[in-house]
């Protein structure tokens, strides 16, 4: 049984989607811990209600990123994870931390990477006049919002969309895309080589949102 540790900073909706999928689809894996850098993260209560161990590693209690990452790694490693899942974890990680979990740490970003890395992705997509938006699951690399792409979901930008409407539409797709990608990992269906990710069964790694939902 593989072990998953999820890192969150807020409401934990993607974490909850992963937990629900792991149970409903009978994965050979379970989320064993949820860790946040914020004690007030709403996702901690969701995890606790499901009987999942939780912990807080407050970034404000550490003088620099290196010391915070060292404390975070200690909290993660206490659960001996096979995979670390970033689900709305709003901290920039040091290269040393990323190397520690190389090839076994995933993130989801609310854009079609490599476009619109960083913050305010939906606002920037609207300002650029994009007709399509979406979400990307990728293995984490030292460069922010880069790293080998696992899967993507494409969401239409509709006439009259504002930032909130587009964000909500993308989030619905995220809640399907992320569990699917994590499920592939725990079933050993992903191959990572030369900076590219392929599916061992040649399954599609991208979808229109209408195909996901």
What are the residue numbers of the active site? Answer: 109
C-alpha dihedral (187, 195, 131, 171), degrees to nearest 10 = 40
Token digits of residue 147: 């790293």
* DSSP output for 148-176: -EEEEEEEEPPTT--HHHHHHHHHHHHHH
Q: Give the SS3 label for residue 199.
A: strand
Indicate the SS3 state at residue 200.
coil
Q: Which residue has the tokens 């949102």?
A: 209
Q: Which residues contact 158 (CB under 8 A, 6 or more apart)?
A: 165, 169
Task: Report DSSP state, residue 52.
Answer: -
Strand blocks (E) in 38-148: 53-56, 83-86, 105-109, 132-139
What lies within 8 Å, CB to CB, of 204 at 6+ separation is none
Cα 34 from Cα 59, distance rounded (Å): 16
């Amino acid at each position: 049984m593989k072990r998953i540790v999820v890192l969150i900073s807020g409401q934990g909706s993607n974490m909850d989607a992963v937990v629900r999928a792991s149970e409903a689809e009978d994965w050979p894996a379970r989320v064993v811990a949820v860790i946040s850098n914020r004690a007030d993260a709403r996702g901690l209560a969701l995890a606790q209600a499901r009987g999942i161990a939780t912990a807080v590693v407050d970034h404000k209690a550490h003088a620099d990123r290196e010391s915070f990452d060292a404390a975070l790694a200690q909290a993660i490693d206490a659960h001996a994870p096979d995979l670390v899942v970033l689900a709305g974890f709003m901290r920039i990680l040091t290269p040393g931390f990323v190397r520690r979990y190389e090839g076994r740490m995933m993130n989801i970003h609310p854009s079609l990477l490599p476009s619109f890395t960083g913050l305010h992705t939906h606002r920037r997509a609207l300002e650029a006049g994009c007709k399509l938006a979406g979400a990307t699951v990728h293995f984490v690399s030292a460069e922010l919002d880069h790293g080998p792409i696992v899967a993507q979901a494409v969401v239409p930008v509709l006439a009259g969309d504002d930032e909130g409407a587009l964000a909500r539409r993308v989030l619905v797709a995220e809640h399907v895309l992320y569990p699917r990608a994590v499920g592939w990992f725990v079933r050993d269906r992903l191959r990572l080589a030369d900076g590219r990710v392929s599916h061992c069964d040649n399954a599609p790694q991208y979808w229109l949102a209408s195909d996901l939902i």
